[in-house]
Amino acid sequence: MKNIYHRPATLFQTTTPGASNVVKKVTFCLLVFLSASCMFAQQSDAFTIKSIYDKALTEGECHDWLRHLTKEIGPRLAGSPGAEAAVHSMRRLMDTLGFDTVYLQACTVPRWDRGAPATGRIINNGVIGTEELRVISLGNTIGTGPNGVTGELVEVFSLKEVEDMGAAGVAGKIVFFNRPMDPTQLQTFRAYGGAVDQRGMGLVVAARFGAKAVLVRSMTTGLDDVPHTGAVALVDDVEKIPALSVSTNDAEKISRLLRQGTVEVHLRSNGRILPPVPSYNVIGELRGTTHPDEIILVGGHLDSWDVGEGAHDDGAGCVHALQVLPLWQKIGYRPKRTFRCVLFMNEENGLAGGRAYWDASNANNEYHLAALESDSGGFTPRGFSAQAEDAVFTDYYRTINDWLPLLEPYGLHFESGGSGADISGLKSQGGLLLGFKPDSQRYFDFHHTANDVFENVNKRELELGAASITSLLYLIDKHGL
């Protein structure tokens, strides 16, 4: 039998003489048409993105919203009156922004009270005598009691050192974790990730071997006199002991003194762990016009630490998220996909809001095509990090990188990596998770400190961040992944 499949068919198969020339001409015309169409689409998107930036920088409201959140409401530790006020204030604001529905999503949050400010001092030292230390209680920890705690310091630079020393080396002493953030890391969040385990788990490891308290070097790349707070992990079968953070300048001083002999310190803190209380995520939703079952989420966390005003962490992220829909409205864009703005509760010391959101979403069989969290401050935008399930990440990453010619004029790039704690549980849905990445060099000057206030957020940088996020989500919504 004659093999009728011996040659692959072409799009314009024919036996007419000169057919190859016809095919070439038609193919050329198609390529020209497709090229022109792509060029037109790129030009249209470039014009839209320019319009987004123009509106953000001339008509943006995010800076005013941040002033309200920080100056009129203030610190917003989960379970506190400030957090409750923020929930209801942000719900009222969302009601004015054009969402189809605005609602509260319940979660149960831990409640911790710092009490009176902590104090610390080096006592009766042979070199300097008695001298005050700049310290602050770490979140979720118990206080020392009214008489404080006095003990000899033992300096360590890792959790493993404590384990290797065992009870013989740390029992009855105050463990001083003094590993600095790595200054050679250009991405300071990587430096933070390389040091923060001693704050998060140092108490647990030290308590297991009988330490009476923990003192931790503040998480910052700088040398200054400002102590940084932050959460510690608590484990049910490990005794709770006081844990405080000390400024980096004082940490350096202690370390120098320890090289000359023993150092004793007296610490006093007043933290209390209270019963959990109900709280809420604040959610606004606009149903998509053509793909309503595909969700695009943008969010930040509404809670903050109880020192400072939570301006960069994460008031900036909240107002970034709130600004997206108003910017789309200003340029006349209606999203094809269902759009959600979520202000999460309790990221700082429990992640209850994030867990409540993704548990409900997974239970409802929802699909988040993309979720973006802004939780790195209100500094100059540099780009976005991206992550997804291995099966889809390469295709998604290739797609967003095709948009670089549209975003690079605004100083934006993409990198693979983590997205945000509050959206991390959505990864299993198979969508793309994104983290907003502003310039990080100054972030840890303010992170978890009394200096994280409205005055330390630059208006233009904040607006540029909102424009960057809005532009990327516009491209995802319009073109899909």
Cα–Cα distance, 440 to 454 (Å, whole number): 17
Helix (H) or strand (E) holding 137: strand 135-137
**What are the residue boundaries of the structural domains of the chain, listed by start?**
51-112+275-479, 115-270
Which CATH code of 3.40.630.10, 3.40.50.620, 3.30.70.100, 3.10.180.10 fits the domain covering 51-112+275-479? Answer: 3.40.630.10
Q: Listing from the earlier edge strand, what are the strands of the sheet with 213-217?
A: 129-133, 119-125, 264-268, 149-156, 174-177, 213-217, 243-246, 135-137
* pLDDT value of residue 15: 44
Q: What is the DSSP letter of 254?
A: H
Cα–Cα distance, 283 to 119 (Å, whole number): 40
CB-CB neighbours of 423 under 10 Å: 27
Separation in Å, CA 329 to CA 98, 115, 128, 325, 374 = 8, 45, 63, 6, 21
pLDDT band at 4 (very low <50, low <70, confident <90, very high): very low
pLDDT band at 25 (very low <50, low <70, confident <90, very high): low
8 A C-beta contact, residue 323 and residue 63: no
The encoded tokens of residue 270 equal 């007043």
* pLDDT value of residue 42: 81
Is 115-270 assigned to CATH 3.50.30.30?
Answer: yes
Cα–Cα distance, 439 to 262 (Å, whole number): 41
pTM of the model: 0.91
The tens digit of pLDDT for each residue in 216-248 reads 999 999 999 999 999 999 888 899 999 999 999
Q: Helix (H, G, I), strand (E, B), or coil: what is residue 351?
A: coil
User: Average model confidence (pLDDT) for the chain?
Assistant: 93
115-270: same fold as 51-112+275-479? no
CB-CB neighbours of 37 under 10 Å: 10
Q: Which residues pair with 112 in a beta bridge?
A: 273
8 A C-beta contact, residue 387 and residue 428: no
8 A C-beta contact, residue 254 and residue 178: yes
CB-CB neighbours of 409 under 10 Å: 12
The tens digit of pLDDT for each residue in 30-73 reads 445 445 555 666 899 999 999 999 999 999 999 999 999 999 99
The encoded tokens of residue 336 equal 């094809």
Q: Which amino acid, residue 329?
A: Q
* pLDDT value of residue 236: 87
